[in-house]
Structure formats: C-alpha cells, structure tokens
Structure 1
C-alpha cells in the first residue's frame, strides 16, 4: 500500500534546537469575525503537539505551496472553512531558523459555523477576544496572540491620489486624463488580482513594532477629479469621484477611514497633502513612484491614451 502522506508531513529540527512539524514550514488561519468580535479557535486533541491547548487551525505546508494557500487549505481540512469565507489582511511569520510558521490574519467575509472534519480537534469555537486569554493556549499561539490582537479589525487601506500619481510620469496623460485614470485603476486591479501583498511597513506597521509582521493585503481606494471622474469601480478597486478638489476628497476619505480604525496609507507626492492626511489620521504616506514600481503594465499604454 502506498504512503499517501504529503512530503511536507515530517518533523524537522530548527536552528533553535526545537523539533517542529512541517518539512517546508507550517501555516495557520487566524480568522476574525467583526460582528461576533471573536476569532476561530481549535481545541487540540490530547495526542497532538501541546495537546489539550487552544490554537488556530493549521498545519504543515506542502512543497512549493504558498503560506496563504496552506493556511486556507488547513483551515478547510480541519475546520470546514468554506471557500471565499475569509479575506486575507496580514501575514505574520514566526522564524525558528530553518523552520517558519506563518499566521494568516483574515477578516470573515461570510459568516460560517466551523465543523470538525478530521481527528485533530476536540472542539472548534468562535471565542470572543476578551475570553481568549482565559483558555490554555498553545505556547506559540499565545506568543503571537499578544502581538496580533491589537491589529485585528485594523483594515489596511491604500488611498491613491490619482491625479498626482498619473501626473508623475510624462507619458502623454494630459492628452486624455480620463483614459489615464482608467489605466491606473486597471493596473492597481491587476496587481491586486495577483494575490501579492505589500510589505506591512507600507502601512506604518513596521516589523520593529510587530516583530515578524510581513505582508498586508489592503483595500484600495482611488480618488479622481475633474474630467477623470466617472470611470467607475472594478471588483478590487473602489473609485471615489471628487465633487470639488481631489485633495479635499482625499482628506475626507482619510477622516472617514480613521474613524473606522483603519491603517491608512495615502499615495501622493504632494507635500501639502501629505501633511493634511497625516493630521487627518493616516498612518503614513508614500510617493507615487513607490506605488508605480509595484504595478504591472496592462493593455493600452501611453500611446493609446
């Protein structure tokens, strides 16, 4: 009879001398339900590593499997998490030297009830945030929890000053500002579609504040003004039409998002606007070039604008 176990299902000894499960590392899902103000936890079976403790659904990564894919797969295998039920927000990596555990922090997009779908759980439960510390936690999760709890519900958001970003490259945008705005929107949409994150420091959440914090998966808002208005949203980019000055609309968006406790980055190279949005509650600002370097090209270049 053949061995059906994945090649990643093996113990490894890391540089810190500890033995950890997962030849290619491991990953788990920290799912946060805003409406319940609770996270999904797993009561681990007695025979497991640190049995009878509570932690998040997770396990060994497969070879060449991304940490995010592993976290989602393991949560589906262990807790019956439905497809598209969560929205990735942040990744946090615990590095033991030669072995890593990646926690995917995600918001619940569609409420669901977990189901025990394999023999690794005594129970699964939505645990209110204020009650998590009362449980006997898996030691590694307990360490990560102290770092990650303050970030739950702080949605990373990028607000793009489209006029400033479009105007930063002399590619003929002035011949058709409307088409130039569409092109920028579509480049952002194409970037988000790749599933790539942006380093958490882009959002004023540097590794020095939360050790091990790696990537963020933000919401994207693009503010357009004048003749560029009316281009509409995409599935992944929200477009806001400024009734007056674009700068004033951007400040208003930042104030709205700050009231919702978002981690806001404004992309603009305008020094005056940078000062205004920081005063309005943005965590940080980034110049147009930093964004443009990350965006893929899409059909319809400057010559077509």
Structure 2
C-alpha cells in the first residue's frame, strides 16, 4: 500500500497573497519545484493544475511528483485521482481548503489537510 498526497495546486497557491495571480504559470512552477525537494511523508505526490497554471509545468512524472492537467475544473480531477488511488488500496490525503471538495473526497476514502500543513513543509 502506497501513501499518496494529492495537491490542489490552485488552492495551495491561492492561500498566499504574493502576486500569484499575475503569473499563474510561474506560481505553479514554483510550487512544483518546492514539492520536488520537500520532505513530505507520502510516497507519491500528485499535483493537479488547472487554467493558466497548466502552462507552468508539463503533465507527467518528475521523481516522486506527478503533474496532472485538469481538462476542466480541478475539483473533478482531484476527486477522480483520489478515487483511483483509494480503489488501488492506497492511503490518500488531499491538500485543499475547499470544504465542498473535502466532503467529496472523504466519500471515496481520502482524508484532507489544509494548505498551511503543506506550506509549513515547503
């Protein structure tokens, strides 16, 4: 059984008022770079990007971080990733402050942590 951390990229980046909205792609790239070197306790990290943030990181796997581009809204992609991992028997944690998404991923067996938890590790 693997442990999987699914990161709501827009939600995590959006928690810091550091001008991210001026360069969504750059903010996504910075988050991706931080995740590559962060000491997260999970075996795998899935970074879900949507909208303009997708321009900052190509989809695919770099070391233990897999980047997924949401075709429409990030929430549906995060939920699908959580469900797929939980069905494989993995322990899934989703990083988000979105309470509606929190409830939806709980329904597939995932737990959630707030972006501040991840930001403290970065």
Question: 1:271 aligned to 2:104?
Answer: no
SS at match of 1:269: coil
Question: 1:176 aligned to 2:29?
Answer: no
SS at match of 1:239: strand
SS at match of 1:228: helix
Q: Which structure dedicates a bigger proportion of its chain to strand?
A: 1
Structure 1 equivalent of residue 54 of structure 2: 229
1:281 CA drift (Å): 2.1
- Which structure is larger by alpha-carbon Rg, 1 or 2? 1
Q: Which structure dedicates a bigger proportion of its chain to helix?
A: 2
Q: Give the TM-score, by structure 2 length.
A: 0.92
Count the aligned residue pairs: 119
Q: Give the TM-score, by structure 1 length.
A: 0.38
The alignment yields a C-alpha RMSD, in angstroms, of 1.2
Q: 1:197 to 1:244 in 2, by over 3 A?
A: closer
Determine the C-alpha separation between the residues in 1 that align with 2:64 and 2:18: 25
Q: What are the ranges of 5 or more consecutive residues in structure 1 without an aligned counterpart?
A: 1-153, 199-216, 296-305
Question: 1:288 aligned to 2:115?
Answer: yes
Query: C-alpha offsets along residues 195-220 of structure 1, whole Å, 9 cap, x if unaligned?
Result: x453xxxxxxxxxxxxxxxxxx4200
1:236 CA drift (Å): 2.5
Pairing of 1:213-228 with structure 2 (within 5 A):
217-228=42-53
Determine the C-alpha separation between the residues in 1 that align with 2:88 and 2:96: 22
Query: C-alpha offsets along residues 237-286 of structure 1, whole Å, 9 cap, x if unaligned?
Result: 1000000100000001011111100000000011111001111221x100
Structure 1 equivalent of residue 83 of structure 2: 255
Q: What are the ranges of 5 or more consecutive residues in structure 2 without an aligned counterpart?
A: none
Structure 2 equivalent of residue 46 of structure 1: none
Query: C-alpha offsets along residues 80-100 of structure 1, whole Å, 9 cap, x if unaligned?
Result: xxxxxxxxxxxxxxxxxxxxx
Match of 2:72 among 234, 238, 244: 244
Question: 1:159 aligned to 2:6?
Answer: yes
